[in-house]
Amino acid sequence: EVQLVESGGGLVQAGGSLRLSCAASGFTFDDYAIGWFRQAPGKEREAVSYISNSDGSTYYAESVKGRFTISSDNAKNTVYLQMNSLEPEDTAVYYCAALNGVFFHGTLQTMRTRPGVYDYWGQGTQVTVSS
């Protein structure tokens, strides 16, 4: 059974930090890229960050550059998103998703940020940043 399980969300004050985890099982972790997406009320789901488990390449949305850091622990089949200097605008449900590496390496960055191309999704974890 394929599973992606997010954890680490919660309520934090502006300027604070959270560390999200995405634990994967049921598929070959090393063959996939893992992305983090978020969706705020009334807005479309947007890519926040991704990491390739094969070559370590990463992507960050412009709005989170310098504040968020993605990392992967392949031994634990887990990807982390360290979120620092959180802002109220970061409030959203955060999802992790897995994208087959063959597709990942055969596409441009713009395609890799489209939610529709990802194969597996977690249930999401709520991040709320208060002012």
SS (H, E, C) 67-112: CEEEEEEHHHCEEEEEECCCCHHHCEEEEEEEEEHHHHHCCCHHHH
pLDDT classification of 55: cutoffs 50, 70, 90: confident
Summary mean pLDDT of the chain: 96
Long-range pairs of 69-75 with CB within 8 A, sequence gap ≥ 24:
70/36, 72/34, 74/29, 74/30
Whether the predicted pLDDT of 106 surpasses 90: no
- Quote the pLDDT of residue 53: 86
Pairing of strands 32-39, 18-25: unpaired
Q: What is the percent of the chain with per-residue pLDDT over 90, rounded to a whole number?
A: 88
Cβ proximity of 86 and 17 under 8 Å:
yes
- Quote the pLDDT of residue 61: 98
